[in-house]
Amino acid sequence: MSREYVLEFADEESKELADNITQYCTLRKKTYSCTGIEIVSVIIDGAMLVVALLTIPAVAEAINKKSITVKFDGFVVKDPASKILNELKKDPEMLSRVEKAIIDNRIEISGSTKQANEFNYAVKALIEERRKYDI
């Protein structure tokens, strides 16, 4: 099973995305910073994060703009897309779960952003590369 990530949504715009991503999460909670700012945090499995990034392109854009903070093992991930793609390369089970979601038509790409399109193409390339070796 792939590892879990924590996504933190602190501004109002990103909090709306938290509502959309909740269906993929294992846990959602609200906390407050020392200055009283509400922070919504979700814990999400790596494979489900890939699915969320594919189905909700605005999440990839918000991560790129730093409106959503991605943490792994308690540390902020500076380039989440690269980290997740590297995890997909190293974890065949995680890649299989993502591919199964695509095949089962559970992934419907809606909307589009540059970051989401780049991530989508990279994921599909990894799946195609794996298929070459499965034959």
Paired tokens of 7: 């996504």
Write the CB contacts of 20 (distance below 8 Å, at least 6 apart in sequence): 56, 58, 59
pLDDT over 80 (residue 36): yes
Whole-number average pLDDT of the chain: 84
**What pLDDT is attached to residue 71?**
92
**What pLDDT is attached to residue 76?**
92
**What pLDDT is attached to residue 108?**
62
- Over residues 117-131, the pLDDT tens digits come to 888 888 889 988 888
Q: How many domains does the chain have?
A: 1
Q: Using CA atoms, how far apart are residues 22 and 5, in angstroms rounded to an integer?
A: 13
DSSP state, residue 102: H
- Over residues 52-96, the pLDDT tens digits come to 888 888 888 888 888 889 999 889 998 888 888 999 999 989 898
Residue 61: domain span: 4-134
Q: What is the pTM of this model?
A: 0.81
